[in-house]
Structure 1
Amino acid sequence: MTQFSRNTKTDFLNSEVPSQQSSDAPRRNPLLSIWMHRWIVLGTMAIVVAAAIIHLYRAERIYQATARLTVERSGPRVVANDPSELMGQAQNFLNTQCEVLKSRKIFLAIAEDKNIQAMKTFEGRSDAIVGYLKGTVNAAAGKRDDIIAVSVKSPVPSDAAYLANAIVAAYKADLETQKKSSIRLIIDFFGKEKREVEKKLAAARGKKIEMQTKHGDLALGGQRSSPLQERVSRLWGALTEVQLEIINAQAAYDSSRTIASDPQKIRQLLDSRTFKSENADLRRQMREMQQRFAMVGKTYLPNFPELGVMQQSIKQLEQELQVEDKRVFDAYVVELESILVQKKNNAAQLQALLDLARSEALAQHSVASQFEIIASECQSLEKYDSDLASRIRELSPLSDEAMVNVNIVEDARASDAGQVEPNVATTMNFAIIGGLFMGALLAVGRDFLDQRLRSAEEIKQATGLPVLGVIPHIAGALTPAQRAQTLHIDSMSDVAEGYRTVRTAVYFGVPAGTAKTLLITSPSPGEGKSTLASNLAIAMAQAGNRILLLDADFRKPTQQKVWEIDRSIGLSNVLAGNQTLDEAIRPTAVPGLDVLPCGPIPANPSEILNSQMFADVLAEVAQRYDHVLLDSPPVMPVTDARILAASADATLLAVRAEKTQRKAAIFARDVLRSVGARLLGVVVNDVPRRKGLYGYYYSDAQLYRYGYGAQMRPRTAATDGVAVGSTNGAGNGNGSTAVAASVVAPTLTSSKSAKATTLKA
Structure 2
Amino acid sequence: MTTLTAANPIYGGRSAPMAPARPSAPGGSGLTGADAWRIIRQRLVMIIILWVLSIGATIGGTILWAKYYPTYRAEALIWVESIDPIDITRPLARESHIQEDVVTRMLQDQAMLVTSATVLIKAIEDPKLRATQWWREAQEKAARKGDDEVELLRDILTSTPIRDTNYIQVTASWRNAEDVKEIVNAVVRRYESTIHELQRGSMKEQADSIDKELQAAQKRYEALIRQKEEFRRSQEFSARSGQEVDERVMTLTALETELEMETTQREAQYDALRGARAEDLPITEDIQALLDADASLIQLEARVQELDQILASARERYGANHRTIKDLEANRAAAVERLISETNTKALRFKTQQLEMVRRMALEARDQLMSIRQTKKEAMDAQKDREAKLNDYERIEEKAKLEDAQVKQLTERKNQLELAANQRKTVRIEIRQEARTPKRMSAPKFELVIPAGCILGLAASIGLAFLLDMTDKSVRTPRDVLRQQIPVLGTIPTTEDDEIEIERPETAVLDAPHSIVAEAFKNLRANLFFSAPAEQQSTILVTSPSGGNGKTTVASNLAIAIALTGRRVLLIDANFRRAGLPRIFSGMRADGLSNILIGQGHLDDYVTASSVPGLDLVSAGPIPPNPAELLGSSYLRDMLLEARARYDQIILDGPPVLLVSDAIVLSGAVDGVILVCQYRATSRGALQRSQSQLDAVNANIYGAVLNRVESRAGGYFRKNYREFYQYSEPDEDAADRPKLDAAGAVAAATQVPGEDSAASLGMEAGEGGVSIAQQATADSELGLGEDATAATGSDALDREIASLGADLESGANLSGDSELGLSLDEPGDEDKPGDEPNPAR
TM-score range, shorter chain: 0.5 to 0.7
**What is residue 36 of structure 2 aligned with on the other side?**
31
Consecutive unaligned residues in structure 1, runs of 5 or more: 183-251, 261-332, 353-390, 714-719, 749-761
**Which residue pairs with 2:70 in the alignment?**
61
Deviation, structure 1 residue 735: 12
- State how far apart, in whole Å, the 2-side matches of 1:628 and 1:640 are: 17
Greater shift, 656-665 or 684-693, is seen at: 684-693
Q: What pairs with 1:575-614 in structure 2 (closer than 5 Å)?
A: 575=597, 581-614=603-636
Assess if the C-alpha contact under 8 Å between 1:73 and 1:88 holds in 2. no
Q: Is 546-555 or 10-19 further displaced after alignment?
A: 10-19
For residue 484 of structure 2, what is the amino acid of its counterpart?
Answer: T
Could you tell me which of 82, 93, 104 is aligned with 2:117? 104
Which one is further off, 551-560 or 477-486?
Answer: 477-486
Conserved? CA contact 1:487–1:495, under 8 Å: yes
Alignment of 1:411-450 (within 5 A): 411-414=434-437, 416=438, 418-422=440-444, 424-425=446-447, 427-428=449-450, 430-450=452-472
* Alpha-carbon distance between aligned partners in 1 of 2:556 and 2:207, rounded to the nearest angstrom: 105
Match of residue 170 from structure 2: 150
1:3-402 correspondence to structure 2 within 5 Å: 3-7=6-10, 12-13=15-16, 15-20=18-23, 26-29=29-32, 31-32=36-37, 33-42=39-48, 45=51, 56=62, 57=64, 60-68=69-77, 70=79, 72=81, 81=89, 92=103, 98-123=111-136, 125-126=138-139, 128-140=148-160, 142-143=162-163, 146=166, 148-174=168-194, 256-257=206-207, 333=210, 337=214
Alpha-carbon separation, structure 1, partners of 2:712 and 2:179:
65
Amino acid at match of 2:73: Q
Answer yes or no: is the 8 Å Cα contact 1:553–1:632 preserved in 2: yes
CA offset digits 1:512-559 (Å, max 9, x no partner)? 434332222222223322122222222232222322211111122121
Letter in 2 for 1:622: R
Q: Which has the higher contact order (CA 8 A, sep 6+)?
A: 2
For 2:630, give the aligned amino acid.
I
- Of the candidates 568, 571, 580, which is equivalent to residue 546 of structure 1? 568
Q: CA deviation at 1:562?
A: 0.8
Distance 1:619 1:494 in 2: 36
| Residue 480 to residue 88, structure 1, CA distance change in 2 (3 Å) | same
d(CA) in 2 for partners of 1:12 and 1:131?
Answer: 85
User: Which residue of structure 2 aligns with residue 728 of structure 1?
Assistant: 765
Does 1:466 pair with 2:494? no
What letter matches 1:64 in structure 2?
A: R
Q: Deviations over 1:544-583 (max 9, x none)?
A: 2322211111122121111112563433345456676545
How far apart are the structure 2 equivalents of 1:54 and 1:545? 69
- For 2:554 and 2:585, the matched residues in 1 are separated by 14
Structure 1 residues 60 and 6, CA gap change in structure 2 (3 angstroms): same
Contact 2:19/2:702 (8 A) holds in 1: no
Whole-angstrom distance in 2 between the partners of 1:611 and 1:409: 103
SS across alignment from 1:677: coil
Q: What secondary structure does 1:5 align onto?
A: coil
Question: Taking structure 1 as reference, are residues 123 and 712 closer, same or farther at Cα in structure 2, changes over 3 Å only?
Answer: farther
User: Which position in structure 1 is the counterpart of 2:799?
Assistant: none
TM-score (norm 1): 0.60
Indicate the residue corresponding to 1:188 in structure 2. none
Question: 1:504, 1:721 within 8 Å by CA — same for their partners in 2?
Answer: no
Q: Deviations over 1:475-524 (max 9, x none)?
A: 56999973222222233444333333333343444334343322222222
Identical aligned residues as a percent? 26
Q: Quick one: distance in 1 between partners of 2:503 and 2:200?
A: 108
Deviations 1:603-641 (A, max 9, x none): 433233233334433333333333322111121211121
* Structure 1 residues 43 and 629, CA gap change in structure 2 (3 angstroms): same
SS of the aligned residue for 2:173 comes to strand
Matches within 5 A, 1:512-527: 512-527=534-549
User: In structure 2, what is the Cα distance between the partners aligned to 1:700 and 1:608?
Assistant: 49
> Structure 1's 401 and 587: CA in aligned 2 closer, same or farther, altered over 3 A?
closer
Secondary structure at 1:160 match in 2: helix
Larger Rg: 2
Structure 2 residue aligned with 1:665 = 687
Q: 1:522 to 1:8 in 2, by over 3 A?
A: farther
For 1:50 and 1:413, the matched residues in 2 are separated by: 35
Task: Choose 635-644 or 36-45, whichever is displaced more.
Answer: 36-45
Change (3 A) 1:470 1:37: closer
Residues 579, 672 of structure 1: CA spacing in aligned structure 2 closer, same or farther, 3 A cutoff? Answer: same
Question: Are 2:76 and 2:184, in contact at CA under 8 Å, matched by a contact in 1?
Answer: yes
2:590 corresponds to which of 558, 568, 580: 568
- 8 Å contact kept, 2:20–2:531: no
* Equivalence map 1:481-496=2 (5 Å): 482-496=504-518
Take 1:566 and 1:88, find their aligned partners in 2: how far apart are those partners?
110
- In structure 2, the CA distance between the partners of 1:503 and 1:54, relative to structure 1 (3 Å rule), is closer
Alpha-carbon separation, structure 1, partners of 2:552 and 2:164: 83
C-alpha distance in structure 2 between counterparts of 1:559 and 1:13, whole Å: 29
**Residues 22, 734 of structure 1: CA spacing in aligned structure 2 closer, same or farther, 3 A cutoff?**
closer
Q: Distance in 2 between matches of 1:437 and 1:85?
A: 60
Which residue identity does 1:728 align to in structure 2?
A: A
The CA distance in 1 between the partners of 2:658 and 2:652, in whole Å, is 17
CA, structure 1 residues 335+52, in 2 after alignment: closer, same or farther (shift >3 Å)? Answer: farther
Determine the C-alpha separation between the residues in 2 that align with 1:181 and 1:590. Answer: 110
Aligned letter for 1:65? A
Deviations 1:284-319 (A, max 9, x none): xxxxxxxxxxxxxxxxxxxxxxxxxxxxxxxxxxxx
| Alpha-carbon distance between aligned partners in 2 of 1:176 and 1:140, rounded to the nearest angstrom | 20
SS in 2 for 1:6: coil
C-alpha distance in 1 between matches for 2:551 and 2:476 = 18
Does 673-682 or 470-479 show the bigger shift?
470-479
Q: Residues 50 and 457 of structure 2 are in contact (CA less than 8 Å); yes or no, is this contact kept in structure 1?
A: yes
Aligned pair in 2 of structure 1 residues 113, 666: CA closer, same or farther (>3 Å)?
Answer: closer
> Residues 118 and 721 of structure 1: is their aligned pair in 2 closer, same or farther, counting only changes over 3 Å?
farther
Counterpart secondary structure, 1:699:
helix
One-letter amino acid matched to 1:67:
A
Name the CA distance, whole Å, in 2 between partners of 1:479 and 1:711. 27
Deviations 1:679-706 (A, max 9, x none): 2223333344467467997323146459
For residue 789 of structure 2, give the secondary structure of its aligned residue in structure 1: coil
Give the 3-state SS of the residue equivalent to 1:485 in structure 2: helix
- Structure 1 equivalent of residue 789 of structure 2: 744
CA distance in 2: counterparts of 1:496 and 1:622, whole angstroms: 27
Q: Quick check: 1:520–1:651 contact (8 Å CA) kept in 2?
A: yes
For residue 322 of structure 1, what is the aligned residue in structure 2? none
CA RMSD between the two structures: 4.9
Looking at structure 1, the residues matched to 83 and 539 of structure 2 have their Cα atoms a distance apart, in angstroms, of: 108
Change (3 A) 1:144 1:522: closer
2:588–2:608: 8 Å Cα contact kept in structure 1? no
TM-score by length of 2: 0.55
Is the 1:656–1:684 Cα contact (8 Å) retained in structure 2? yes
